[in-house]
């Protein structure tokens, strides 16, 4: 593998299930898990808006900085790396929680989140860098100080250099299960009180990863519960999710 491929695999490609297995060909493994979470602001590619997420996850949530990419078409992206693969449903809910916290005023059509569950199955973002056949332009990872320059033209018209792309990725690190669980806690609104009449069926419904709140977004508390109960999620992350839920559990 080239240095760029090595760095991309280190950050974003799911680990093989066993030491003697070959890594997955794409960003989704055979169990439907991912290590790359991608949030894009598009049409237009507004770095001022996306920078709210880029800065916020570091300053507010204590996460390592995600990579920044020009999509090659009409958007700017943030690429988050997980040290352990995560099932699609909690991955989507985490991205939705970020969108709700940092981009509440942007319309849904301008904020793209991957992986995405679609009728035909799970779809992920295209790897970066990549040639866009229709236009002849390239997607590319970019440095934070250069990101504003790509707001009007979020692409390169020449292939980005492999060494430069690898260098940008080499300084990045992955989000550990403990850091992810802590971020989820910070993104989860405090539940001050539950109506006394809430029955078990309603509580079970809230435990669903797809439960929507009044804003139409997945409930971060439900996200933590989904992570805790998902057997495909690494045990360390399930334990951290359970710890994060403790402050929201009331004595019965």
Is residue 189 very low, low, confident or very high in pLDDT (cuts 50, 70, 90)? confident
What count of other Cβ atoms lies within 10 Å of the Cβ of residue 1? 9
Q: How far apart are CA 49 and CA 186, in angstroms?
A: 21
Helix (H, G, I), strand (E, B) or coil at 107: coil
Where do runs of H (alpha helix) occur along 192-234?
200-206, 220-229
Q: Are residues 156 and 210 in the same domain?
A: no
Indicate if 108 and 204 belong to the same structural domain: no
Taking the C-alpha atoms of residue 3 and residue 237, their distance in angstroms, rounded to an integer, is: 30
pLDDT value of residue 244: 67
Q: Are residues 216 and 104 in the same domain?
A: no
Q: Do residue 165 and residue 186 come from a single domain?
A: no
The predicted model gives 167-183 an average pLDDT of: 96
| CA distances in angstroms from 163 to 128, 131, 138, listed in the order given | 14, 17, 16
Please tell me whether residues 25 and 78 are part of one structural domain. yes
Indicate whether 136 and 33 sit together in one domain.
yes
CA distance linking residue 42 with residue 15, whole number of Å: 30
Closest C-alpha among 233, 188, 201 to residue 91 = 233
Length of the chain: 252
* Number of structural domains the chain divides into: 2
The pLDDT of residue 204: 46
**Range 213-242 average pLDDT:** 64
Single residue among 115, 141, 170 that ends a domain in this structure = 170
Residues 36 and 132 in one domain: yes
Average pLDDT over all residues of the chain: 84
| Greater pLDDT, 25 or 103 | 103
The stretch 97-117 carries a mean pLDDT of 94
Same domain, 182 and 161: no
Of the listed ranges 116-120, 136-140, 187-191, 225-229, the least confidently predicted one is: 187-191
Span 182-186, average pLDDT: 92
Structural domain boundaries enclosing 212: 177-248
d(CA 202, CA 207): 9
Pair (154, 53) in one structural domain: yes
Say if residue 6's pLDDT is above 70. yes
Closest CA to 33 of 82, 79, 87: 87
pLDDT (tens digit per residue) in 109-162: 999 999 998 888 889 999 999 999 999 999 999 999 999 999 999 999 999 999
Per-residue pLDDT band for 242 (boundaries 50, 70, 90) equals: confident
| Confidence at residue 207, expressed as pLDDT on a 0 to 100 scale | 40
47 and 81 housed in the same domain = yes
**CATH code of residue 75:** 3.30.70.3300
Out of 153, 170, 187, pick the residue that ends a domain. 170
Q: Is the pLDDT of residue 5 over 70?
A: yes
| 72 plus 120 within the same structural domain | yes
pLDDT mean over 20-31: 78
The verdict on 91 and 32 lying in the same domain is yes
**Which of 30-44, 207-221, 230-244 shows the highest mean pLDDT?**
30-44
Output the pTM of the full model. 0.80
Out of 170, 187, 216, a domain closes at 170
Q: Is 222 helix (H, G, I), strand (E, B) or coil?
A: helix
Q: Which residues contact 37 (CB under 8 A, 6 or more apart)?
A: 79, 80, 82, 86, 91, 94, 95, 114, 115
pLDDT at 198 over 80: no
């Amino acid at each position: 593998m080239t240095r760029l491929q090595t760095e991309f695999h280190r950050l974003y490609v799911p680990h093989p299930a066993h030491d003697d297995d070959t890594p997955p060909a794409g960003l989704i493994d055979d169990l439907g898990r991912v290590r790359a979470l991608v949030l894009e602001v598009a049409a237009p590619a507004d770095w001022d808006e996306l920078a709210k997420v880029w800065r916020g996850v570091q300053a507010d949530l204590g996460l390592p900085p995600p990579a920044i990419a020009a999509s090659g078409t009409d958007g700017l992206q943030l690429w988050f790396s997980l040290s352990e693969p995560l099932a699609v449903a909690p991955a989507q809910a985490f991205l939705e929680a970020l969108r709700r916290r940092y981009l509440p005023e942007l319309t849904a059509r301008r904020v793209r989140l991957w992986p995405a569950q679609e009728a035909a199955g799970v779809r992920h973002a295209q790897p970066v860098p990549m040639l866009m056949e229709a236009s002849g332009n390239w997607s590319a990872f970019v440095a934070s100080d250069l990101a504003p320059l790509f707001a009007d033209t979020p692409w390169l018209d020449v292939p980005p250099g492999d060494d430069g792309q690898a260098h940008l990725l080499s300084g990045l690190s992955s989000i550990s299960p403990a850091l992810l669980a802590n971020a989820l806690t910070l993104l989860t609104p405090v539940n001050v009180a539950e109506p006394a009449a809430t029955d078990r069926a309603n509580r079970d419904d809230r435990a669903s990863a797809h439960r929507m709140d009044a804003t139409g977004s997945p409930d971060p508390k439900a996200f933590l519960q989904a992570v805790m109960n998902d057997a495909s999620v690494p045990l360390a992350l399930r334990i951290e999710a359970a710890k994060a839920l403790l402050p929201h559990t009331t004595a019965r």
